[in-house]
Amino acid sequence: MGRQAIMNKINLLFAALHYDYADKKLGRSYEQINIMNSLQDIPWINLLYLPTDKLVQNGGKQELSRVLRNFVNDNIIDYYLEIPFRDGYSPYGQDLKYLQDEGIPTIEFDCDSSWRFDGFIKDRIQHYDYFITTHSKAVDWYKQAGGNVIKSQWGGSTFFENMNVPKKYDVTFIGMKHSNRGGIIQSIKNSGVNIQTFGRGWPNGKVSYEELNKIMCESKICLNLSNASTGILSQIKGRHFEIPLFGSLQLTDQCDNIQDYFIPDKEIVIYTDKQDMLEKIKYYLEHDQEREEIALAGYNKCTQEHMWENRFKEIFNQI
């Protein structure tokens, strides 16, 4: 669309889950809390929302098709942006063709292409005009499959805020318990460090996004484990751009090209193995000023360069 056009309002139809993993019991989805809230706050976007799971659960994919086509008939839509979950929660291929025939480019934002490409994304290439991937190694996969791909990244959400509260936790980890995460956390506990864990599978259980915000603001160090529940490639996650917003030090394992977004030991701390992780945890717990300087630098970098508005400006300038 070009850089000049970004100055005009974009009418965007955003299709994504309303509930986490399409399960009402798990509360609102990441897509709604992190991304939709940020899209609503972007002054150059007029947002329309298609809650794919609610529509499918209420009336099947036929209801999703009906509501989507009504949106097109009743509104001026410049772009269709979807964050897919499963095929059962995506529009029919003929609905996407209908959008394209109406002159509406279709965009798929793939959050986990590092492990979902072959088993899910590859079969969808024919239905979308553009694909967004967050993983550097996936770019060539899209191109080889005939997809028009844009390399972008997760972003910081305007939903979150630095509450400037006292630090009551030494170290916290918030995320699902899977693969080797239990062993990593146990090794931290065995070293004598007080770490609290939250999320599905941990004794403290899942927390709301509001609770997550408060806990991470109260943490001296926020541990970030980048391994996915499936696949072998480490990946940058949304959490890499959330933790800095809380004014806490982010300690993460090495993942993809994270150094392209934050300067190691200046805006983020990266560990190479378990021993390095334990040493860095103890070091930064003992060096308050250095820890707080890195946390502040990470906050400044994220708010200036890595918010969702930054991402979508870059994306639409390439379309």
Cα gap 249→243, rounded to integer Å: 8
Long-range contacts of 197-202 (CB under 8 A, 24+ apart): 197/172, 197/173, 198/172, 198/173, 198/174, 199/173, 199/174, 199/175, 200/176, 201/176, 201/177, 202/177
Q: Could you tell me if 69 and 95 are in contact, meaning their C-beta atoms sit under 8 angstroms apart? A: yes
pLDDT at 233: 77
| Per-residue model confidence as pLDDT tens digits over 143-156 | 999 999 999 999 99
What percentage of the chain carries pLDDT values higher than 70? 96
pLDDT at 234: 82
pLDDT at 228: 66
Domains of the chain: 5-156+307-318 (3.40.50.2300), 169-305 (3.40.50.2000)
| Per-residue model confidence as pLDDT tens digits over 188-210 | 999 999 999 999 999 999 999 99
Going from the C-alpha of 80 to that of each of 11, 163, 199, the distances in angstroms are 9, 35, 32
pLDDT at 230: 66
CA proximity to 268, closest of 257, 133, 76 = 257
pLDDT at 1: 46
Cα gap 30→223, rounded to integer Å: 19
Cα gap 94→108, rounded to integer Å: 16
What percentage of the chain carries pLDDT values higher than 90? 92
Alpha helices in 178-229 (DSSP H): 181-190, 209-217
pLDDT at 169: 98
Q: Which helix (H) or strand (E) holds 279?
A: helix 274-286
Cα gap 125→104, rounded to integer Å: 17
36: its two tokens: 């939709």
Instruction: Specify the pTM.
Output: 0.92
Q: Could you tell me if 146 and 298 are in contact, meaning their C-beta atoms sit under 8 angstroms apart? A: no
pLDDT at 180: 87
**In this predicted structure, which of 96-105, 226-235, 300-309 has the lowest mean pLDDT?**
226-235
Band (pLDDT 50/70/90 cuts) for residue 178 is confident
Residue 261 C-alpha from the chain's centroid: 14
| Per-residue model confidence as pLDDT tens digits over 15-53 | 999 999 999 999 999 999 999 999 999 999 999 999 999
Residue 3 has pLDDT above 50, yes or no: no
The arithmetic mean of pLDDT across residues 154-179, rounded, is: 95
